[in-house]
Amino acid sequence: MAAKVIKTRPKAKLGRPAKYPWSDWLDGKWREVDPLEYDVSAEGLRTSIHAAGRRSNVKSCVTIYTTNSGTRMVAFRFNGVRDEDANQADAAG
């Protein structure tokens, strides 16, 4: 049997899947996340948030706090995300 010739090489998915839903989180809204939901420390999540902001060319604002029940939470948002960008993303998606 002859081999099939294709004109373009199929695109391989590089890397591992994203651990966090960055496409949802990069909308400029404040978020509160329990880092234990993602099996990571609060400091580790803070570092990942700052790195995602750098990759997306936006600034991030992150705070870590402890609730009355003792749970450490991470509150954050990405600054510099304009409404026009969010609307264009919604229209394209």
What is the per-residue pLDDT across 34-92, written as a single tens digit (0 to 9) for each? 999 999 999 999 999 999 999 999 999 999 999 999 999 999 999 987 655 454 444 44
Mapping DSSP to helix (H, G, I), strand (E, B) and coil, where does residue 45 land? helix
92, β-bridge pairs:
none
Pairing of strands 59-66, 31-33: unpaired
> Sorting pLDDT into bands at 50, 70 and 90, what band is 93?
very low
66, β-bridge pairs:
72
Question: Are 77 and 46 in contact, with CB atoms under 8 Å apart?
Answer: no
Residues 21 and 25: their CA atoms lie apart, in Å, by 6
**48 vs 18, more confident:** 48
Residues 16 and 72: their CA atoms lie apart, in Å, by 27
